[in-house]
Each structure stands twice: as structure tokens, then as C-alpha cells.
Structure 1
Amino acid sequence: MRLATWNVNSVRARTERVVDFAVRESIDVLAMQEIKCKAEQFPYEQFEDAGFHVEAHGFSQWNGVAIASREPLTDVAYAFPGMPAFGTDEAGAAAPHEARAIGATVGGIRVWSLYVPNGRSLGDPHYYYKLDWLSALREYTTDALQNDPDLALALVGDFNIAPTDADNGDPAVVPGFSTHVSPPEREAFAALEEAGLTDVVRPLVPTGFTYWDYKRLRFPRNEGMRIDFILGSHAFAGAVAGATIHRNERKGKLPSDHVPVVVDLDLESPDEDDDRPMIFG
């Protein structure tokens, strides 16, 4: 199985480009973030014509997540257990959940396409919402893996965190002054790893960013950030046979400001390839 994650920054604006990538790169499962449309507005026909089943979750022109798969998607969920909402409605009740998570099972893998809240700025209410959201995600992960230690679980998407200084090449993003690199955010990311997940890409792709701001020539200067991840449980990580970051998708006509991150999985016999680096112990 070839699994990819991509913050597409409006699927309707980039339908042709996204579908072309999925077909050209023989993607089996594509998790998308920031689809920026209601579920009924998703361009299903173009994906289905290319051989994909699609489940989408979106409410408006903001946020939104989806999963496209060559095989049918089962057990679809639109929020993980305990996922918090942001703010309250006019009556003072908790606001509806934003469209930031969609989970489904395909090929024996539980895949979550996640768009972690941005945080906006240190001290902003959205920043504390982000931390609460990540804490709930950790609790879900801990419970899921305690209940089923052999679960092949993949949390993929735009985490809006650069977990180490090596993951941040944007001079405008300064530790101590900016979101994405603050100690609490980095601690929240580390807590996901402590809960039993592994960043399965970086050991195989030791350098490279996944996001470059459209402004200030960030991409030509390679002043980017690595904030898009594929995190997997032990059962998932043990099947990883390769990984790539598709930097060239930031080029050309109407690019997203993010690029796809891809892993290849050997689901039939993950322990029989003696040549694969032993990096996911």
C-alpha cells in the first residue's frame, strides 16, 4: 500500500493537480487536509473517475479533511473520542466540532486524516484550544493502543508543529515568540510519540521541509518547515518500506503551500525484508 498525506489548501481549486498526483504516483490512500469546502461540494466525480472511493468532512470554506482510497473505506468517523470544540455558540453552549479529523479503516489500517489547529499566536484562545486538542488526541491514541496493542494505527496530516529546530527553516518563526515551535506544542508532539507512535518518515528522509509560506520568497530560499507527518503505531511502523517528501509539488501552477508526504507499506510480510533498516524498534 502507498499512503500519502497532503494539505491541499482547497481541493476544488486544485482538483486536477491533486488527482493527477494520486494517479501518477500510484497512491492507494490519500489523506487530505484543508479541503475548504462542505462535504457535498467535494469534487467526488473526478476522484471516482480516477478509481477512488472518497469520504469527506467539511462545513464551510475553512478547514475540512478527506480520505480517498482505492479500496472501500469502513468505520468512518468524523471526530476522535474526546476531541474538543473551539469556543461557544450564541447561547453559551459548546460550539460544534470543527472539521479537523476523519478516520477510516482500509487494508487493515486505521487511518486518521488530521488538521491540527494552528494556534494563531502565543496566548491566543486558539493556542490553548490547540493544546487541548493535542492532549485529547494523545489520550485517544493511548486508549486505542492499550485496548489493541497490535492495532495498525496511522495519524497523518498537518500537525502545525515543527518538533525540533531542524524542522524549522523559516526565519520568521522564532522559538519563544511563535506558535508551531513553542515548548508546550513540542511537548504535545513528543507526548504522541510517548503514547506509542513513531514518525516513520524522518528516519528514511533525514532532511526536507513540507511547507513553505507563499510570502517573502520562502520557497525559492528553502525557508520552510516540516509540519506534515505520518505517525504510526508499532504495527504500522513495522510495515514501512519507504518514504518520500514530494518537494516538486510546491512548484508549477497553483501549488498548495504544502507538499505530499508518502510512505510505502509492506502489509503482507513486514518482517521478512532483511534489507530494510531496523529503525522502528
Structure 2
Amino acid sequence: MKKVRLDILLVERGLCESREQAQRLILGGKVRIEGFPRPLKPSTPVPPNAPVVLLEPPKYVSRGGEKLEWALKVFQITPSGLVFADIGASTGGFTDCLLQHGALKVYAIDVGSGQLHEKLRASSRVVVMEKTNARYLTPLHLGTYVDGVTVDVSFISLRLLWDAIAKILKDDGVVIALVKPQFEAGRERVKKGVVRDPEVHEKVLREVLEAAQAKGLGLRNLTFSPLLGPQGNIEFFAYCRKGGSPLTESEKRDIILRVVRDAHEFFRV
């Protein structure tokens, strides 16, 4: 009987949505096969009929949901009963997290198509907006203003999206944006797709948040994602609000320095 990689088997059996998800569970010790030595590896060859058991099934359709859940806890934001726009929805990790935390409705917005998980696509609480460039969003596209916006985009700077985000938000609406320095810093500061310099992280956060403030989206809190991005990039979550009383410039400077320092200590970059 021809053996297959364990990560591939998990996907083929429908136990995981992707090889990335399977690899994360395997490396996290969440997969067991009776009679096989531990620890298992994603590349471990196993029979197609191996008795695989997931000790902890994935909570969300992608690990983006785990990232957002962390941010919601840190920022003490409760999506329950609110309407959100999820920009850069992709597979739908953020959308799934919002729904599981009680969001009334989520507009799942992405420039691509065919990526959103079928479970979410079939949900009556999800409005699928594929092939949609978020830079040009207005309330007319949604038919309403939203209570909150989540953002997880790649290959585009958040600085190009703040204007549209501000336009679709209600007054006092919330923004939870994943800041990815590898797409903000400029090519000269990104080595092989990775940003490791804490000074670059600080500069990126300052510039991105200044651009948000210029559109009336003031910083309320900041944290780092406990899960690294592609190729080991440290990523950050910014919590902003439309209007109200944001952090002062001094407070903003201090929190950027502290969060970048804490992130580098956490990951020991």
C-alpha cells in the first residue's frame, strides 16, 4: 500500500482545510495515530487508512480566525449584534471569527474570487463581495454603513485603504487592521520577503497609523499577532475608531515602542 504524507492525508480526508492548517496542527501536537511514534511530522509517511485522530479540531476555517480572536480579547471588542465589513476575506478566517463571536452580518470583501469557504458562502449572515477592490468602496456598494471593519490584505499598503474604510464606517465605528510590515516598508527594507529590524517595524507603524489618523481613524490600542505571518514575519493589530478621543501623540509613540519590543522578545527575532 502506497503511503502518503500525513499533512496531505489530513486534507484528503477533510479533517483540515489546507496543508498549512494540517501542518500547524501536526507540529502543535494536535494529531495522533495509534501505533506511530511521536512526535509526528507533516512529512511523516502514513498508510491511506491510518487511524488518524485530531486532538483539537480547528476552530476556524483558517488561522486568520485565531489571529483575530486574539485581537478581540486584547482590545476587549465584542462583535455581537454588529455589522462588519471584512476586507481581504480570502478563505474567511476573520469572517468566521466574527460570526462565531455573534456578528449580525459580515460583508466578506476580496479582490479575488472562489476562495471563501463554502460554510461561510452558505451562511445567511454573510454577504459575499468577490472581485471587489476595497480602495473604491463606498456605502453605496454595501447599501449601508457598518459598525466595524476588519482588514487582512497582502501586496497593498493599508495607507491606500484608510479613506474607503472611513467612508463606510458609522461614526464611532471600530477598525481592527492587521499591519503587515513586509507590504508597508518598501523593497529596500524587506530582505527576502521578511522584515526583522525593530526600527523598521516602528517606522511602519508610525506611518500607517499617521495615515489612519489623517482620515479620522484614531488609534485606541495596538498589539502584535501571536502567530507569525508568511516566511516568519511579525505582524501587528491596530485598533482604531472613527472620531472620539484617540491616543495622544505621546501615548501613540510609547505604545508603538512597547509593542514592537514585546513582539521581538516574544519571538526572539
Give TM class, smaller chain.
Answer: 0.3 to 0.5
TM-score norm. by structure 1 comes to 0.36
Which of the pair is proportionally richer in helix?
A: 2
Structure possessing the higher radius of gyration over alpha carbons: 2
